[in-house]
Amino acid sequence: MNLDQPGTTRPVRRAGLVDQVAELFRAEVVTGRWGVGERIPTEPELVAAFGVGRNTVREALQSLVHAGLLRREQGRGTYVISDSELAAPLGRQLAGGSRQHYLELRQVLDSAAAQLAARHRTADDIIRMRALREQREASWAHDDADARARADVELHAAVVAASHNPLYVELYSSMTGVFAQHMRDGDGDGEREHPAHELHRELVEAVAAGDGERAVAAVAGIFAPFAGA
């Protein structure tokens, strides 16, 4: 995190001060200067960097907490939990669905993304997907459900990113937290025993080859063991 980035310390008018400061903080999150999972600067640091009062900083941060971008942790600080304001409302909706509903939704989203990615992927996308595929496989060597879920979702998110459809990327990224949670919850009911490494290799190579039908078939194979879950 770097508060010295251009634009982060521009003067703020007094009218609507909290809203203006909240927008500045939101920009830090959306641009990735405050990355997801990172602890943001302390309130005194923000007061000094943005030139506003502590109460203003506190209220502005709280508005981003309500928006689902930040989370306060007692005694630890404030952390970025999402870079999309879609995540909170969608997360609440998805959290109320059954595992079967979740799997059906993910298969539809991943299938469409695979087909688009096969059409629009770049050389850099292929390099990233292959690297994340290797990381996903390596994660199964350790008894860490969080790491396995995170590695799996990161690979599938990279396929979505290779679609180069910003609306699709935004929609999918707003759901990845719930997707990872469902994976962690289901880790003990067969997911670890059927990691589908070969099918994920096939997915990545089909996208790399520009073969949308193969890519969609690989996605179907990945989700087949969970049909009726």
Among 137, 119, 188, 177, smallest CA distance to 153 is for 177
- The domain tally of the chain equals 2
| Pair 199, 218: CB distance under 8 Å | yes
What pLDDT was estimated at residue 48?
94
Residue 6 confidence class, pLDDT cut points 50, 70, 90: very low
DSSP state of 78: E
Distance CA 31, CA 34 (A): 8
Number of alpha carbons in the 13 Å side-chain half-sphere of residue 175: 23
Least confident range of 8-12, 115-119, 174-178:
8-12
Strand partners, 11: none
Domain match, 72 and 92 both: no
User: CA 192: distance to chain centroid?
Assistant: 22
CA angle 137, 141, 146 (to 5 degrees): 80
pLDDT at residue 5 tops 60: no
Domain match, 63 and 142 both: no
Distance CA 177, CA 62 (A): 21
Is residue 51 situated within a structural domain? Answer: yes
| Pair 81, 71: CB distance under 8 Å | yes
Is residue 45 situated within a structural domain? Answer: yes
What pLDDT was estimated at residue 96?
62
User: What is the domain extent for residue 220?
Assistant: 87-226
In degrees and rounded to multiples of 5, residue 205 shows phi and psi of -70, -30
What pLDDT was estimated at residue 85?
65
pTM of the model: 0.63
Please identify which residue in the block is written with the tokens 């998110």. 157
Is residue 118 situated within a structural domain? Answer: yes
Domain match, 139 and 178 both: yes
